[in-house]
């Protein structure tokens, strides 16, 4: 599968914000006027007890919605939040399936996403995104989350590749920094066009 002259053996792709267009950040910021920036919101989200329970498969969607509304003091009902949350992933960016299909013969591809049953069902059912990868590590099935080191350890052990031969791309700086500390080659990309540019610069694509 891997080329002898390839710069990496495996590529780990975050999904939301890299391969999938998201709408949730703007909605959450509008609901949380006390949160000033996207970076602050992500810090709160990644450390939220409600998020961590839901996206490690430890709570239901209804429990998650009630906890998030309470935790963030949102001006909506849990039902309204959950209905909106289901559609935070808007669509695949154009060109995603073609890019992954071109990379698959040369690299081991894996999805590494903090996600949940509600969104994962859409990723697989609507877009068949799981079939584009050799391996998938959705957090709600793995039972671990980025940016925790045990999540990256689980992925690396499953792939059987050396850390320094694994490229990791994510739109969240917190996750990128954690992956770099773990020894992966980590790059911050905030959109699909940015991903394409990064892959070209690294010699992954021609």
pTM value?
0.92
Location of each CATH 1.10.150 domain in the chain:
24-85
pLDDT in tens, 117-173: 999 999 999 999 999 999 999 999 999 999 999 999 999 999 999 999 999 999 999
Q: List all residues 6 or more positions away from 41 whose beta carbon is below 8 Å from its beta carbon.
A: 25, 28, 29, 32, 35
Give the pLDDT of residue 4: 53
> What is the SS3 string spanning 44-99?
HHHCCHHHHHHCCCCCCHHHHHHHHHHHHCCCCCHHHHHHHHCCCEEEECCCHHHH
Q: What is the CATH number of domain 24-85?
A: 1.10.150
Q: What percent of the chain has pLDDT over 90?
A: 91
110's enclosing H/E stretch is strand 108-111
Label the pairing between strands 89-92 and 20-22.
antiparallel
Burial class (CB in 10 A: 0-12, 13-18, 19+), 4: exposed
Give the pLDDT of residue 57: 97
Location of each CATH 3.40.50.1000 domain in the chain:
10-21+90-201
Beta bridge partners of 136: 111
Which CATH class, in words, describes the domain spanning 10-21+90-201? alpha beta
Separation CA 104–CA 150 (nearest Å): 26
């Amino acid at each position: 599968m891997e080329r002898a002259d390839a710069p990496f053996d495996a590529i780990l792709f975050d999904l939301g914000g890299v391969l999938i267009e998201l709408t949730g950040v703007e909605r959450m910021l509008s609901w949380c006027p006390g949160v000033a920036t996207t970076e602050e919101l992500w810090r709160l989200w990644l450390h939220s007890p409600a998020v961590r329970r839901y996206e490690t498969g430890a709570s239901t969607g209804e429990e998650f919605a009630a906890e998030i509304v309470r935790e963030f003091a949102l001006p909506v009902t849990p039902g309204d939040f959950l209905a909106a949350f289901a559609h935070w992933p808007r669509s695949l960016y154009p060109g995603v399936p073609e890019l992954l299909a071109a990379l698959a013969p040369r690299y081991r591809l894996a999805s590494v996403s903090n996600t949940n049953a509600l969104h994962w069902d859409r990723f697989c059912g609507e877009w068949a995104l799981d079939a584009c990868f050799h391996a998938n590590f959705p957090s709600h099935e793995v039972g671990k989350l980025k940016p925790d080191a045990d999540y990256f350890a689980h992925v690396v052990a499953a792939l059987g590749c050396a850390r320094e031969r694994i490229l990791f791309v994510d739109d969240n700086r917190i996750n990128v920094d954690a992956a770099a500390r773990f020894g992966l080659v980590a790059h911050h990309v905030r959109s699909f066009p940015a991903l394409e540019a990064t892959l070209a610069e690294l010699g992954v694509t021609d």
